[in-house]
Structures are given as structure tokens and as C-alpha cells.
Amino acid sequence: MRIWMIAVITLFLTTACVLKENGSDRISAHVTRVVDGDTVHVTVNGKEETVRLLLVDTPETVHPTKQVQPFGPEASSFVKKLLHDADVELELDIGERDKYGRLLAYLYVNDEMVNQLLLEKGLARVAYVFEPNTKYVDKFYKIQKQAMAKGIGIWSIENYATDQGFNEDPSAVHAENKTDECTIKGNINSKGEKIFHTENSPSYKVTKPEKMFCTEAEAIAEGYRAVNR
């Protein structure tokens, strides 16, 4: 137990030294692997670290007990393209680590905060808001509100993203309001792409459906995407 405590204290002191050496409140790091939309592996001062992005949560893609959730692949792909083999900076809040030992950080690439970009694109929700790590929470909620108003990403599916997380069964979203008249048309085009059309889609009337859906969430859960407008 004593050895373990010494190791933890040494690690925290090392992090503090890095901060001093940089002369700023950011730590230089290099991305070695992107796990998913909100978790990455980096090297800091020659040491491997797992970083969990602060105050945001993206849909699951690699969870051992959960299915891939809508917009999880999009969030993961966005971060992978943005951070592939990238030099980045980490800004810590008051509490440096979570119970799993991961660094909690606001991550910057080319001076842009990835946490914020995910919220702007509707690929993440504000989540895990615990004192004292709340430096940007008010700003993040404002950005989330804008994404919700636009209905983009996770906010394009009614009742999918909630304060408690992402709906585990998108096909059941808003099930209490289902009727016998399901109007969303699912169609497979000549390229084999699964596409759904709502009544507002330009080609809705001429589309011959392979399958009908009651909600967009049902269509997305079965691998369909919205038609390009």
C-alpha cells in the first residue's frame, strides 16, 4: 500500500513539473491512439496516459456491454481524423484524475478545444458535471443549447440524448406516442445504401419503401441514414 501511494504522489508531482516547465496552464502531449469520441491515449513527458475529455460524453462505440449507439461512430471518426498522430495540449481542471486513474482534461489541437468542437457539431452532450471540475460548464451548456436548436447530430433524434445518458434502445424512443400510421419510408438505393425519407423529403412521394418506420430513431437503429437534401 505504501509503495502504491508513493507511485501516485510521484505521478502527480511529475504532472506539476510539466506544467511549470511549459510556463502555462497547458501540458504538451502527443496522441498515440483514439479510443472513441471522448477518450484518447497520449504520451506526456515520455509516459503513457489515458485522457478522458472533461464535461462531455459521446455515444458508445467500444463499450463491452453496450451496442454501438447512434452518432457514436461519427464522433469517434471525427476525433480520429482530428487527432491522428497529433501534437496536442491538455488543460487540467482542479481534480486531475477520475476513479480509473485517467487524466481529466480539456484537449486542444491547433489551439482549438476538442471538447467544445464535439458539442458544436452535436456529437456530444454536456455530462459528468462534478465540482470542482466545472471551469467551462456554463459555456458548454450554451453551445449545447445552440446545437439542440439546430437539431444536429445527437439532437436530431427525439429524446435520444438525456440528462441520464443516451437512450439504450433508440427503436423505442418516444414509443408511447406511436400510432399505427408509420410514415417514414426506408429505401435501399442502387448503391446498396440504406436511406430513410420523412414526409418533408423532396423525393418522399415517389419513393417506394422497403420498410416503414414510426420514428427516425428506429430507422437509424437499423442502419438507415437520412436522405441528402
- Give the residue numbers marked as catalytic: 52, 60, 102
Q: What DSSP element (H or E) covers 117?
A: helix 114-120
Q: Where are the beta strands (DSSP E) in the chain?
A: 26-36, 39-44, 47-53, 56-57, 87-97, 103-109, 112-113, 125-126, 161-162, 165-166, 184-188, 194-197, 211-213, 225-226
Cell numbers representing residue 60 in the block: 458508445
Pairing status of strand 87-97 against strand 26-36: antiparallel
Q: How far apart are the first and last CA of the chain?
A: 61
Backbone φ, ψ for residue 109 (5° rounding): -135, 130
